Amino acid sequence: MADSRPEASDWAEPIEVVAAVIRRPDGAVLLSLRHPDQHQGGLWEFPGGKRGRDEVPLTALARELEEELGLRLDPAQVRPLVQLTHHYPDKSVRLTVWEVFAWTGEPAGREGQEIAWVAPHKLASLAFPAANYRILAAATLPRVCLVTPEPDPANGAAFLAGLETSLRGGIRLIQLRVKAHAPSEVLPLARQVVTLCHLHGARVLLNVGADPSGALRAELDADGVHLPSSLLHRYRERPLAREYLLSAACHSVEDILQASRLGADLGLLGSVLPTQSHPGEPGLGWEAAAELALHADFPLYALGGQGAHSVEAALSAGFHGVAAISALWNRHELPDARLRRSA
């Protein structure tokens, strides 16, 4: 499906908006219902509002949440989630969004708005302003993504055992790499992988190194596809429907911008640090990687030399989280429950 996006020159300077995905310990998310007479009225939204011209974004968020909901933020329990620009027919908005895990005060609709705590699995059934759907997509993604080693069809039991250990440890997003063998060779094992992941509430992205829009994804009931860089620039429009996740391999500004044009839901950028899989390659380094991450308007994962230990460094560099093979494969436990997300 085509993802129609006007050129930036067609729009006035975007309105700066801050917003929060506020999470209770049970995972429920706090939403506000927009007044009928507002822009995009009658729709649910993630709380927040306009940022003042000279306001620091996080300061603006703290002010908005106190004014709208009576909540006072705990800065130690706030994490960046996503930055994005969205064009409506009559205006353009640039949103800076955080996750909020703790606060002081009981939420109330101080401006007469209806509010509600919504379970994660019910969020997709609600109607949001168009820009909020991309926030919703980011909010359901975990902070860590496991990229599997290439499976050996002749030793499928060992592969499934390693995967299950990672799933029991909390992994909830998997990129299944099956590029070394023909799809027919790995189809039975791949089907078992998808079934096992779904039993644990995890989502699976197929990386088959070939056209991802055909029958293989549907046949396996996978949750999306990953486009390697060799395929990324072959497409002029999104190669699969919006209800599936589209991931992209990114190594440059051009890759990131092309992924954005295709409406990618997430991307993997690397290699950030040296890796065992690419011996002798120094990696981009955090400073150069952070410069590239500035161009992404979708959740971007740092790849290369990463693990659950490096999530905080990745967040500080502007990434959504990290992706890794060996540091996440066959591991027993993620150290922080906030790294997990339910599908």
CA distance 30 to 36: 19
| CB within 8 Å of 179: residues ≥ 6 apart | 150, 207, 208, 209, 228
Q: Are 109 and 28 in contact (CB under 8 A)?
A: no
Instruction: Residue 323: give its domain's CATH number.
Output: 3.20.20.70
Say if CB 39 and CB 78 are below 8 A apart: no
CB-based burial label for 52 (10 Å; 0-12, 13-18, 19+): exposed
* Domain co-membership, 124 together with 157: no
Strands (E), the chain: 15-22, 29-33, 44-45, 48-50, 72-73, 78-87, 92-100, 103-104, 115-118, 144-147, 173-177, 203-207, 224-227, 245-250, 266-270, 300-303, 321-324
Tokens, residue 205: 């992205």
Query: What separation in angstroms does the CA of 335 have from each of 38, 109, 128, 308?
Result: 42, 35, 33, 7
Q: Domain range holding 222?
A: 144-339
Domain end, chosen from 139, 169, 186, is at: 139
Of 139, 104, 105, 161, which is closest to residue 31 (Cα–Cα)?
139
* Widest distance between CA atoms in the chain: 62
CA 283 – CA 277 distance, rounded (Å): 12
Final residue of a structural domain among 139, 163, 189:
139
Claim to verify: residue 110 and residue 171 sit in the same structural domain = no
Could you tell me if 112 and 27 are in contact, meaning their C-beta atoms sit under 8 angstroms apart?
no
Q: Which residue has the tokens 């353009």?
A: 92
* 200 and 294 inside one domain: yes
pLDDT score at 277: 67
Residue 248 and residue 151 share a domain: yes
| CATH number for 72 | 3.90.79.10
Task: Check residue 213 and give its pLDDT.
Answer: 56
Classify residue 112: in a domain, yes or no. yes
State the total domains in the chain.
2
In a domain, 3, yes or no: no
The Cβ of residue 60 has, within 10 Å, a number of other Cβ atoms equal to 20
| Whether residue 307 is found in the same domain as residue 250 | yes
Q: Give 305-322 as a DSSP string.
A: S--GGGHHHHHHTT-SEE
The residue type of 60 is: A
Q: What is the pLDDT of residue 106?
A: 96
135 and 149 together in one domain: no
d(CA 147, CA 302): 12
Kindly state whether residues 328 and 198 are assigned to the same domain.
yes
For residue 331, what pLDDT is reported? 85
Angle (CA) 216 243 292, round 5°: 90
The list of the chain residues with pLDDT below 70 reads 1-12, 210-215, 277-280, 334-343
pLDDT at residue 84 in the model: 81
Find where tokens 């049970």 sit.
Answer: 26
**199 and 266 inside one domain:** yes
- pLDDT 10s digits, 172-189: 999 999 888 887 888 899
